[in-house]
Amino acid sequence: MCTSLIMHANDGSTLLARTMDWHPFGATVLTLPQQYQWRSVVNPQRTLINPYQVLGVGYNIPNLHVDIADGINEYGLAMQKLTFNQPNNPNSTFKLQTQQHKIQLAPFEVVTWFLGNCQSIADVITQLPKIQLIPDSNQKHNVLGQTLHYALTDSTGQFINLIPQNGQLIAVDNPIGVVTNAPDLDKEITKLDQFLDLTVPPTHLNAIAGDNFNGKKTMPGGFTPSARFIRATILKEHAIVPINEQANLIETWHILNSVTVPKSRQRSDTYTLYRSAVDLQSRRLYFQPYDAVGISVYDFPQS
């Protein structure tokens, strides 16, 4: 599950926000210092060093390393991981034979590495050929499962997804600014034609369609990936353009309300464990666990 979205404000600030919808795993706000050293669970013989400082939400795995689920680094690169509903055999995501000239990472380690080693999306794309994904079967490490994909943005405002494919990560531009768990972004965008007129030039900062909704369907309910994708996109279309970071946080949180998954006795123990957002301009992190009424604010630590 999980829903991510990007929202821009008139003053130039940008929020990358998300719901983390999963089984409980003890997520908390964490800081990785410059020159953080760690070893991948799939190649423990090699020491990895992250040059850049990171502020994020994740889990400090005992006797292993910090696992960042979403966050921002000192250069304003922001990244999130989400579960990925791989339609075919999940093993097609990986090449199981180690390629010694590459850096081996388990899928859950991707955000930790890229935020610690890249300054921008352009930098990320340059580094992609160096990475090999290797599955990790230890559920104590891999709390979100084997198949993940990733949402990224930086100070340029570009928004992309990283998709796993045959052991590699492929960069895909995302013009909508919303991500859920569906494997085919193009198909999700096609579904929007029933709800929005995507052929009209944008009318405001966060729009990808016009304001004419005549003859279009109303947004769906439910918590399927497609329903959440459509609902979050439509609400972005209707939203006012926030004037600054604080107003942006308020509008973004109201949109997240529409895709937040409550606890349910009729479903498994998956629900929205937390909601978080990072502002690319101020480097602040906003965090609200399920059982908290207010939003906690964390400033990026001084080097």
The pLDDT of 134-139, averaged and rounded, is: 79
- Which is nearest to 110 in space by CA: 90, 137, 89, 130? 130
What pLDDT digit, counting tens, does each position of 204-235 carry?
Answer: 778 877 666 665 777 788 899 999 999 999 99
User: Is pLDDT above 80 for 160?
Assistant: yes
pLDDT of residue 225: 93
- Given a cut of 70, whether residue 144 has pLDDT beyond it is no
Closest-CA residue to 17 (of 164, 146, 153): 153
- Per DSSP bridges, beta strands 14-22 and 271-279 are antiparallel
**Whether the predicted pLDDT of 201 surpasses 70:** no
Going by pLDDT thresholds of 50, 70 and 90, the confidence category of residue 35 is: very high
Percent of the chain residues past pLDDT 90, beyond the cut: 68
- Name the average pLDDT for the chain: 90
More confident residue, 201 or 146: 146
User: Three-state SS across the chain?
Assistant: CCEEEEEECCCCCEEEEEEEEECCCCCEEEEECCCEEEEECCEEEEEEEECCCEEEEEEECCCCCEEEEEEEECCCCEEEEEECCCCCCHHHHCCCCCCCCCEEECHHHHHHHHHHHCCCHHHHHHHHHHEEECCCCCCCCCCCCCCEEEEEECCCCCEEEEEEECCEEEEEECCCCEECCCCCHHHHHHHHHHCCCCCCCCCCCCCCCCCCCCCCCCCCCCCCHHHHHHHHHHHHHHCCCCCCHHHHHHHHHHHHHCCCCCCCCCCCCCEEEEEEEEECCCCCEEEEECCCCCCEEECCCCC
Give CA–CA dist 19/297, Å, rounded.
16
In tens, the pLDDT along 18-34 reads: 999 998 888 999 999 99
Query: Which has more pLDDT, 35 or 84?
Result: 35
* Contact in structure between 130 and 102 (CB atoms under 8 Å): yes
CB contact at 8 A, 113 and 128: no
Q: Which amino acid is at 176?
A: I
Which among 70, 16, 9, 76 is positioned nearest to 281, based on CA atoms? 76
Q: What is the pLDDT of residue 238?
A: 87
Mean of the pLDDT values across residues 1-20? 95
Q: pLDDT tens digit string along 53-73?
A: 999 999 999 999 999 999 999
pLDDT at 91: 53
